[in-house]
């Protein structure tokens, strides 16, 4: 594991956001197979042990919780945890799991966050969401997320690293630099999924002026980006 510090501050070709939503709805029942890959177990145990620390005592907004793999690990010591997703199919899986008493679920569009109303939080978490946001939309989306957070809030993103022997091969790169994978589900349907794999400096550059002392922790199959807000 290596950590880098910095001092300064899904879509598919056929249908965009809605196509990505349908893909994950269809994949809900089998999504967590990816966490059973033998070569990823050491990374997963290390991250599961670490992930609760940044959120201890905080009121946390989780973006795109999906099937809730990370939620029970990350919410162990929080004050309150709102796990959100747009897909009832994936949230049904998450709701079926044993969760800390502090965890609540709501249907929220990760892009607009409109369903949150005027609520604000002092921490935010997103697992395997950053990689599915088109590069051109990331700065505005991060600004929208930060607007929901109090000064001093802790923000943690966790996502996949590209590992040739373990990751799905990249199928193409578009004119904006986004990369894609061609994925096949159990029903035989094929889906082109946007999946970006940023370098630390690229991620730091997109965080915006409120991000303070961002840190990048590189595991073999995953990365973690965490920072606080001014």
pLDDT at 14: 35
pLDDT at 4: 39
pLDDT at 49: 97
Of all helices (H) and strands (E), which one includes residue 80? strand 80-85
Do the beta carbons of residue 9 and residue 222 sit within 8 Å?
no
- Helix-then-strand count for the chain, H and E: 6, 11
Residue 141 CA to residue 143 CA, distance in Å, equals 5
Q: Say whether 194 sits in a helix, a strand or coil.
A: strand
pLDDT at 9: 25
Residues 6+ apart with CB under 8 A from 84: 61, 62, 63, 64, 65, 105, 106, 107, 108, 110, 115, 116
User: Do the bridges between strand 190-194 and strand 179-184 make them parallel or antiparallel, or are there none, so unpaired?
Assistant: antiparallel
pLDDT at 22: 65
Residue 126 CA to residue 30 CA, distance in Å, equals 20
Domains of the chain: 2-162+199-229 (3.40.50.150)
What's the number of CA atoms in the CB half-sphere (13 Å) around residue 115?
14
Would you state the structure tokens that stand for residue 124, as one six-digit string?
């935010």
pLDDT at 190: 78
Residue 60 CA to residue 116 CA, distance in Å, equals 13
Residue 73 CA to residue 50 CA, distance in Å, equals 9
Strand ranges across the sheet with 2-5:
2-5, 211-218, 222-229, 149-160, 121-127, 59-63, 80-85, 103-107
> In which residue ranges of the chain is pLDDT below 50?
1-15
pLDDT at 24: 60
Among residues 91, 157, 86, 152, the alpha carbon closest in space to that of 124 is found at 157
- Threshold 0.85, pTM exceeds: yes
């Amino acid at each position: 594991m290596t950590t880098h510090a910095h001092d300064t501050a899904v879509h598919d070709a056929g249908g965009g956001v809605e196509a990505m939503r349908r893909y994950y709805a269809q994949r809900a029942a089998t999504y967590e197979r990816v966490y059973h890959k033998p070569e990823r177990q050491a990374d997963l145990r290390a991250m599961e042990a670490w992930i609760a620390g940044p959120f201890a005592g905080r009121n946390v907004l989780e973006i795109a919780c999906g099937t809730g793999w990370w939620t029970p690990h990350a919410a162990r010591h929080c004050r309150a945890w709102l796990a959100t997703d747009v897909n009832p199919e994936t949230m049904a899986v998450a709701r079926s799991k044993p969760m800390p008493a502090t965890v609540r679920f709501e249907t929220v569009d990760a892009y607009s966050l409109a369903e949150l109303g005027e609520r604000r939080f002092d921490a935010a978490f997103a697992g395997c969401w950053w990689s599915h946001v088109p590069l051109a939309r990331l700065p505005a989306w991060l600004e929208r997320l930060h607007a929901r957070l109090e000064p001093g809030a802790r923000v943690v993103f966790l996502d996949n690293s590209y590992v040739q022997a373990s990751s799905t091969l990249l199928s193409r790169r578009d004119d904006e630099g986004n990369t894609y994978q061609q994925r096949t589900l159990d029903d035989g349907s094929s889906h082109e999924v946007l999946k970006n794999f940023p370098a630390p400096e690229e991620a730091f550059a997109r965080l915006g002026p409120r991000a303070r002392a961002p840190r990048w922790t590189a595991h073999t199959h995953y990365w973690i980006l965490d920072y606080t807000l001014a």
